[in-house]
């Protein structure tokens, strides 16, 4: 029930963004950046398994979306959509970090940047849930308009696909009466 209400609410909000029918994740980034009046830069980074797959850093001049570079394009797009959802939903983390702590952890970075970076881990479960639902809705819209590549000589025919499906489907043997 909660997800249905959330989806209904965000369906109209996403429509209000004015997203074109044949969009992609890059166009959505451009659209959100234009509406916010500040650029969004997507930065691929190879992250270790102990780090998140992506995060949003709100700096003074731009929004930075850092995402895992060593994964499939579809996963990268979902990570970017999730971080865009945090931006669209106006989420702010709640982790409190003072200037001294920020400088001890990252002495070469501005404490405000460190605070914004670390707020990512302070999102509530509700904010994470909302961002994931919105990201899924974004990806559904993107994938709905994605065109299949034209067939090639290597593309299986319908008959070949049917034969493969039949070979993978278990059928109970008919018992003799």
pLDDT tens digits, 71-89: 999 999 999 999 999 998 8
Dihedral sign, Cα of residue 97, residue 99, residue 104, residue 107? positive
Contact criterion met (CB below 8 Å) for 82 and 131: yes
Answer whether residue 79 is part of any domain. yes
pLDDT in tens, 110-125: 877 766 665 544 456 8
Predicted TM-score (pTM) of the model is 0.66
Summarised one tens digit per residue, pLDDT across range 117-146 is 655 444 568 888 889 988 888 888 777 755
The DSSP element (H or E) to which 117 belongs, if any, is helix 111-119
In a domain, 67, yes or no: yes
Range of the domain at 33: 2-147
Provide the mean pLDDT of the chain. Answer: 77
Q: Is residue 167 part of a domain?
A: no
- Residue 41 inside a domain? The answer is yes
Q: Is residue 77 domain-resident? A: yes
CA distance 68 to 82: 13
Does the residue 55 lie in any domain? yes
| 54 belongs to a structural domain | yes
Query: pLDDT > 70: what percent of the chain?
Result: 66
3-state percent breakdown (helix, strand, coil) of the chain, nearest 5: 55, 10, 40
Domain count for the chain, please give it: 1
Looking at the DSSP bridge assignments, the partners of residue 58 are 63
Mean pLDDT calculated for residue range 21-42: 89
User: Any bridge partners for residue 63, and if so which?
Assistant: 40, 58
Asked whether residue 27 is assigned to any structural domain, the reply reads yes
């Amino acid at each position: 029930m909660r997800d249905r209400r959330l989806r209904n609410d965000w369906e109209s909000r996403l429509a209000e963004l004015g997203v074109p029918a044949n969009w992609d994740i890059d166009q959505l980034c451009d659209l959100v950046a234009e509406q916010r009046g500040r650029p969004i830069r997507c930065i691929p980074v190879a992250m270790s398994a102990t780090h998140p797959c992506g995060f949003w850093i709100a700096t003074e001049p731009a929004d930075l979306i850092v995402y895992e570079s060593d994964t499939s394009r579809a996963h990268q797009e979902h990570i970017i959509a999730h971080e865009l959802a945090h931006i669209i939903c106006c989420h702010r983390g709640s982790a409190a970090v003072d200037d001294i702590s920020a400088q001890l952890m990252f002495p070469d970075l501005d404490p405000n940047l460190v605070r914004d970076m670390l707020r990512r881990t302070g999102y509530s479960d509700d904010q994470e849930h909302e961002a994931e639902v919105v990201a899924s809705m974004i990806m559904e819209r993107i994938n709905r308009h994605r065109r299949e590549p034209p067939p090639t000589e290597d593309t299986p025919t319908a008959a070949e696909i049917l034969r493969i499906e039949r070979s993978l489907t278990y059928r109970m043997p008919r018992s003799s009466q």
